[in-house]
Amino acid sequence: MSQDLPWGPAPDGHDRPHWDGLTRSELRIQRCADCRTWVWGPQQICPHCYGFELGWQAVEPSGTVYSWTRSWYPYIKELADRLPYISVLVELDETDGRRVLGMYMGDPNDVPHIGQRVEGVFERADDAPWPLLRWQRAREGAIQ
């Protein structure tokens, strides 16, 4: 049984490759087939060369915290049971500075700091229709 959650591919299927990537434990973001510019969030056109051939490329889920917030108020009812939770904006390593949002796992009392190294973990809840990429403090000895 799957919950009806307010996320998943857009109705037009434009960002479907990103979500399909998550089911294979891959973080896929857009990259221009012509000029190789990394693009996120999902766009129709390359902002650099105006090419429409934006492909999807898997990147290493590692990066640094660009900003964060810890939410205490149930703005999203489907996540109310997780409060308080921490959301991070992560600057990815391989993508010329593109940033992705994610939830930061672990002890909610242990807040991250800007510049902290983080690594992605793929979370697939039994009743969730799509896996999601979550983030945690990078392990000691991990490639930095």
Partner 1 sequence: MIAQIRGAAAVVGVAEIHYKRGDAPHGELRMTLSTIVEACRDAGISPREIDGFVSYAGGPNDGAILGAALMIDELRWSNMMWGGGGGTVAAAINNATIAIATGQAECVVVCRAIAQADTGRLGYASYHYGPHFMAHGIGSPAQICALRTQRMLEHDGVPESAMRNLVLAAYHHAQNNATAQAFGRPLDEATYEESRWIAEPFHLYDCSRESDGAVALVLVSADRARMLSAHPAYVLAGAQGAPGGYAERIDNDEQYSTAGFGHANNGKPGVAERLWSAAGLGPQDVDVVQVYENFSGPAVASLIDHRLCPPGRAAAEVLTVENLTVPHGKLPINTSGGNIADSFINGLNLAVEAVRQIRGTSPNQVPDAKTSLFIGGPMAPVVSSVLFGHADTV
Residues engaged in binding partner 1 (CB under 8 A):
5-10, 15, 40-43, 47, 66-73, 75-76, 79, 82, 84-85, 87, 89, 98-103, 111, 113-114, 130, 132
Sign of CA dihedral 29, 31, 37, 43: negative
Measured between alpha carbons, how far is 82 from 108 in angstroms, rounded to an integer? 10
> Rounded to the nearest whole angstrom, what is the least distance from the CB of residue 9 to partner 1 in the complex?
8
Measured between alpha carbons, how far is 91 from 134 in angstroms, rounded to an integer? 14
> Rounded to the nearest whole angstrom, what is the least distance from the CB of residue 85 to partner 1 in the complex?
5
The residue (of 73 and 140) whose beta carbon lies closer to partner 1 is 73
Residue-wise burial string across 102-126, b where 16 or more C-beta atoms lie within 10 A, e elsewhere: bbbbeeeeebbeeebbbbbebeeee
The residue (of 83 and 138) whose beta carbon lies closer to partner 1 is 83
> Rounded to the nearest whole angstrom, what is the least distance from the CB of residue 141 to partner 1 in the complex?
27
Residue-wise burial string across 81-92, b where 16 or more C-beta atoms lie within 10 A, e elsewhere: eeeebbebbbbb
> Rounded to the nearest whole angstrom, what is the least distance from the CB of residue 86 to partner 1 in the complex?
8
> Rounded to the nearest whole angstrom, what is the least distance from the CB of residue 7 to partner 1 in the complex?
4
Measured between alpha carbons, how far is 84 from 69 in angstroms, rounded to an integer? 10
The residue (of 70 and 117) whose beta carbon lies closer to partner 1 is 70
